[in-house]
Amino acid sequence: MPQLSDDIPCRVTRLPNGVRVVTEAMPQVKTASLGVWIEAGSRHEAKGQEGLAHLWEHMAFKGTASRDALAIAKELDILGGLANAFTSREATCFHIRVMDAHFRRAFDVLADIALNPRLDPEELAREQAVILQEISMVEETPEEKVHEDFWAAAWAEPAIAHAITGTPRSVTAATPKTMQAWRRAHYRPGAIAVVATGAVSHEVVVDMAAATFGSLPAAQGPVVRPAGAFTPPKLAVRRESEQNHVILAYPSVGNKSPERFAHTLLATLLGGNMSSRLFQEVREKRGLAYSIYASVSGLADAGIFEIQAAVEPERTRELLSVVRAELAAVAGGAVTAEELDHTREHLKGLLYLGAESTENRMMRLARNILLFGREIPLEETAAALDNVSLDELAAIAGRAFTEANTGLCILGPTAAIP
């Protein structure tokens, strides 16, 4: 029999074959969000397999043994819900949000497309062509292209470095045989989590999951290679465009690190909102860029602190000088208690506002289960943000924002590393 936890309102059950069933009841709402998460993303692809996780995500909506693509689309439309899917570097997720009365039917559809996609050769060829267009769109979008080029240059480990969409060569080379082999290795019960939040009953979700996912044979998963160290690249890419697109980056921490809260605060304080230091200095005071962002791009075991902006080519050096001066000031202890409190309240506001959405709750709960094997209460996250001190922020900035740690990528008409 499945083993049930005693956590209320979040409850976790692990089926005998290893599938996790996780629910969080929200009695005050009339909607429910469901996600089928598989710990199978682009970092689980070997050489020649690039893009298979993403291709499988696309094929899931092209038909199953019992539903063709049109039937899936019609059924999702009839439910009136919001259904989608995405592939990240570490997971694939199929998700839907519906009225509580439609939950059982939504579960049936979502489980079907996640478990039973049909690899029709003609449909596969069409979807390969669609993904090739997706890759071309990235190539033609400078702000996306600069990020892909930078990320690829920043990691020595090929499984981390390659694009989630794969390459034209790897996508074109995919066959039903190679796709099925990859799927058998990675779509295993121990890598699957069925997560539901909102107007749901844990016992009902467990019964439905046992009926659909419980018969999957248990299997040992392949070993996932460590991400390895971030290697700061210096990359100039000449491209005809109106602006130079710039990424300045430094080493950060993984999503499992206790320091993740301090790094998130630091990124937000520097470039996470309109009152942030870089937005005020770069856009409001100097008019150097329409927008400038700072964020942490994290994997479970590694991360990068990124600053991204687009600037007129002749003002690229000025932009870099201003950004570096601001980073040095933060490392030198220039952040005030008022600034830190302001940023803290901003992040806590986003945290609690997001908690009113069943979809946001489902996404957050699922990520915590995959990373930590447990729910992390909102209050625990808020307390962790409150515990970050000015000294800790300055120390992290001082360690990270050094010349030796600096990664720089410039894409544009006058791209050159100064």
Residues 277-323 have pLDDT tens digits of 999 999 999 999 999 999 999 999 999 999 999 999 999 999 999 99
191 neighbors 120 (Cβ within 8 angstroms): no
Q: Domain check: are 315 and 279 in the same one?
A: yes
Which of 213, 248, 280 corresponds to the end of one domain?
A: 213
- pLDDT digit string (tens) for 55-102? 999 999 999 999 999 999 999 998 887 899 999 999 999 999 999 999
pLDDT tens digits along 350-383: 999 999 999 999 999 999 999 999 999 999 999 9
Task: Please identify which of the residues 24, 39, 57, 90 carries the catalytic annotation.
Answer: 57
Could you tell me if residue 221 is inside a domain?
no
Residue 228 in any domain: the answer is: no
Is there a single domain that holds both residue 248 and residue 154?
A: no
- Quick one: pLDDT band at residue 46, thresholds 50, 70, 90? very high
Instruction: Check residue 8 and give its pLDDT.
Output: 56
- 220 part of a folded domain: no
57 included as an active-site residue = yes
- Identify the CATH number of the domain in which residue 208 sits: 3.30.830.10
Domain count, the chain: 2
Inside any domain, residue 168: yes
* Domain co-membership, 107 together with 24: yes
Give the residue-averaged pLDDT of 7-11.
Answer: 74
Q: What is the pLDDT of residue 223?
A: 84
Q: To the nearest whole percent, how much of the chain has pLDDT over 90?
A: 92
**34: its two tokens:** 């469901």
- In the predicted model, is pLDDT for residue 6 greater than 80? no
Domain assignment present for 153 = yes
Q: What is the mean pLDDT of residues 374-394?
A: 97
pLDDT digits (tens, 9 = 90+) for 216-231: 999 888 888 899 989 9
Whether this prediction's pTM lies above 0.85 is answered by yes
Residue 317 structure tokens: 């050096």
Does residue 130 share a domain with residue 264? no
CA distance 142 to 9: 45
Q: Does one domain contain both 102 and 248?
A: no
Measured between alpha carbons, how far is 319 from 281 in angstroms, rounded to an integer?
A: 10
* 100 and 34 Cβ atoms separated by less than 8 Å: no
- Burial label for 220, CB within 10 Å (0-12, 13-18, 19+), is exposed
Q: Which of 180, 213, 246 is the last residue of a domain?
A: 213
The two counts, helices (H) then strands (E), for the chain are 16, 12
pLDDT at 3: 43
Q: Do both 354 and 206 map to the same domain?
A: no
Task: Indicate whether 191 and 255 sit together in one domain.
Answer: no
Mean pLDDT in residue range 330-334: 98
- Residue 288 to residue 316: CA distance in whole angstroms: 9
Q: Is position 9 within any domain?
A: yes
pLDDT of residue 418: 85
83 in any annotated domain: yes
